[in-house]
Amino acid sequence: MKNMRINKVSFTDKTIDQYNVIIDVRTPLEYKEDHIPGSSNYAVLTNKQRHEIGIKYKENSFLAKKIGAQLISQNIAKILGKINFDKKETILIYCWRGGLRSLSLYLVLKQIGYDVYLLDGGYKAYRRNVVNYLEKIAPKFRYNQLMGITGVGKTLFLKELSKNYQTIDFEGLANHKGSILGNIPNKIQPSQKYFETLIYEKLKRFNAKKRVWVEAESIKVGKLNIPSLVWRSMPLGRNIKISSSLDERVKYILKDYKYFTSDPKLMSEALRVLKQIIPKEDFSNIEKSLKKKNYYEFVKALIIYHYDKAYKKTRAESASMVFVEIYLEKINLNYIRRAISMNKSF
């Protein structure tokens, strides 16, 4: 063991792509907050164990290390019972900063005969790279925006564009529709850090010389924020505005948010939030239709008394130059495909 060479590798995207298996040995809470996509969590300490050892370390560092070693050994024994990697697999292990937790599992797997490596600097090295990329490289991409008032099918349009163009669906990455009714049932928004990780992982695979299509979003998508320097760069390219009739928008929203009409709890929670941010008279107009369970009129009132008024205050409407406008007679894939094929702006 004394003469065993420890294979440490510095972080680069090419480095990560070389490994068949990536193991994150941090606690489940650390892993949930953020991790290298594609990694598996085999925690050498539980959330509770790490917390308790941290407290003990302040009192007696030697004893804390001894207890920690005991717990890590026990947990590694359990991990070995779970894993079934082929000997030919190349394995990368990381912890918070490439310290004792990752080294402990590394040494055991190395002794067994696995082809295993340690990420030098651990998760912190990866996170540092993500932050640097989003601050210095990502803002230089040529972003083009799909603009348009709520209910014109921007997300559907963006999804169709993704078949042939570089696109980022911030709402999809954030598990949120971006509006007052934006919470999606049974879907939890990721942490801010992991949201940034997902954006980074998407952008780094793009050709920087080609355009990237996005929706004209508020900087906030639910509880999350689009990286500020990226958000500032988004309106600087071509801004294409999509529009449609009020009737089409109502019908599209009824389809897109159909789970709200079938779950009164979701609707009441959304209205509770809405009541706090719009004038009393406007809220009353919206609530009348809902009480009658006339969902068409309810969505129509929601558009007139909330969405359209709110949109006028957005950056997209007040400060973004429109390159071209596309009117959709029907908000469906056939009309969207026709619009894309006929418009040279794409």
pLDDT at 345: 76
Question: Which sequence spans correspond to the domains of the chain?
Answer: 8-130, 141-342
CA distance 216 to 236: 11
Q: Where are the alpha helices (DSSP H) in 236-332?
A: 246-256, 258-262, 264-277, 280-291, 295-302, 308-311, 315-319
CA distance 23 to 39: 5
Q: What is the 3-state secondary structure (H, E, C) of 301-315?
A: HHHHHHHHHHHCCCH
CA distance 28 to 7: 25
Spatial contact of 45 and 53, defined as CB atoms under 8 Å apart: yes
Residue 17's pLDDT band, with cuts at 50, 70 and 90, is: confident
pLDDT at 3: 59
- Measuring CA to CA, which residue among 134, 133, 106 is closest to residue 119? 106
pLDDT at 2: 54
Per-residue pLDDT reduced to its tens digit, 121-141: 999 999 999 999 999 999 999
3-state secondary structure of 219: coil
- CB atoms < 10 A from the CB of 217, how many? 20
Average pLDDT of the chain?
A: 92
Higher pLDDT among residues 99 and 92, named by residue: 92
CATH number of the structural domain 8-130 = 3.40.250.10
CA distance 285 to 305: 8
Q: Residue with structure tokens 């719009």?
A: 278
- Measuring CA to CA, which residue among 226, 150, 206 is closest to residue 181? 150
pLDDT at 75: 97
Average pLDDT over residues 46-63: 94
pLDDT at 117: 96
Contacting residues for 310 by C-beta, under 8 A, at least 6 apart: none
pTM value? 0.92
DSSP state for residue 133 in the 8-state scheme: I
Contacting residues for 2 by C-beta, under 8 A, at least 6 apart: none
Contacting residues for 50 by C-beta, under 8 A, at least 6 apart: 27
CATH number of this structure's domain 141-342, picked from the four choices 3.10.450, 1.25.10, 3.40.50, 2.60.40 = 3.40.50
Q: Residue with structure tokens 């912190």?
A: 124
Q: Which of 136-145, 202-211, 251-260, 307-316 has the lowest mean pLDDT?
A: 307-316
Contacting residues for 199 by C-beta, under 8 A, at least 6 apart: 134, 138, 168, 170, 173, 226, 227, 230
The gap between the terminal CA atoms of the chain, to the nearest Å, is 60
Spatial contact of 330 and 242, defined as CB atoms under 8 Å apart: no
Per-residue pLDDT reduced to its tens digit, 264-317: 777 777 788 888 888 999 889 888 888 888 889 989 999 999 988 888 888 777
Instruction: Name the percent of the chain in helix, strand, coil, to the closest 5.
Output: 55, 15, 35
Encoded tokens for 72: 């890590």
Higher pLDDT among residues 267 and 117, named by residue: 117
Give the E-state strand segments of the chain in sequence order: 8-9, 21-24, 40-41, 90-94, 115-119, 143-147, 166-167, 212-215, 220-221, 224-225, 239-244, 324-328
pLDDT at 111: 94
Residue 203's pLDDT band, with cuts at 50, 70 and 90, is: very high
Higher pLDDT among residues 180 and 32, named by residue: 32
CA distance 323 to 240: 6
Q: Is 275 left (phi over 0), alpha (psi -120 to 50) or beta?
A: alpha
